[in-house]
Amino acid sequence: MQELTDLKQTLKTQIIESLNLQGMTPDDIDENAPLFGEGLGLDSIDSLELMVLLERNYGIKIEDAREGRKAMESVAAMAQYITEHRTK
């Protein structure tokens, strides 16, 4: 499970960098908290950035909106999705 833990930490850093969340550190992001709405507070533009991140860094292209919402529900959900679907 260390690999999954490392992936979650990497994702937190990538999210901060991709979305320019200045002043935020990986420790500020709860891996189980929602990324959108009341959690981290991301919006639909941010979701597009996250989809680009998944495709560029992990070779994952999400075509279905429902699948995308589920995959990007939280950092933990993203890490699990990447583990199951990555091509890079």
Amino acid at 49: E
- pLDDT given for residue 7 in this prediction: 96
Interval 55-70: pLDDT, tens = 999 999 998 888 998 9
All domains of the chain, ordered by start, with CATH? 2-85 (1.10.1200.10)
Instruction: Give residue 2's pLDDT band: very low, low, confident or very high (50, 70, 90).
Output: confident
Judge whether residue 1 has pLDDT over 80. no
Token pair listed for 28: 């500020």
What does the mean pLDDT of the chain come to? 93
Quote helix, strand, coil % in the chain, to nearest 5.
Answer: 60, 0, 40
Interval 29-63: pLDDT, tens = 999 999 998 889 999 899 999 999 999 999 999 98
